[in-house]
Amino acid sequence: MPKTSWFDDKAEHPTLQEQATKLDSFTTALADGVVSKRELESQEQRLVTAMKALEPELSDALHVKVTTVLVELSAYNVMRLLHELQTERAKMAFHNA
């Protein structure tokens, strides 16, 4: 199977978010606007399973690089979520004023 690039020359962000929106588990969890504890735990288990399948195949050098990407991605996701929440909170505050 040919690899799908993580980048789109026309997009300013990596295409991973777009790919995530195609996951049934993701769209189902977001369908009602609430991510339950069970849905979050299920996603964590899918992540752990994928990581456990990948890790033994990595050389030491590639393991370091993939670890860096995963840490940066985790930080980005938290920062993006907080930014979006702060932006939404500001919109609501100004809308109600």
Do 31 and 66 belong to one domain?
no
The reported pTM is: 0.77
Do 69 and 44 belong to one domain?
no
Count how many domains the chain has: 2
Find out whether 52 and 42 touch, Cβ atoms under 8 Å.
no
Could you report the per-residue pLDDT of 37-83, keeping only the tens digit for each? 999 999 999 999 999 999 999 999 999 999 999 999 999 989 998 99
Q: Is 73 left (phi over 0), alpha (psi -120 to 50) or beta?
A: alpha
Domain that holds residue 90: 59-97
Do 53 and 70 belong to one domain?
no
Do 65 and 94 belong to one domain?
yes
14 exposed, middle or buried (CB, 10 Å; 0-12, 13-18, 19+)?
middle
Eight-state DSSP code of residue 32: T
Q: Is residue 93 in a domain?
A: yes
Give CA separation, 30 vs 39, 64, 70, in Å. Answer: 10, 33, 23
Q: Is residue 9 in a domain?
A: no
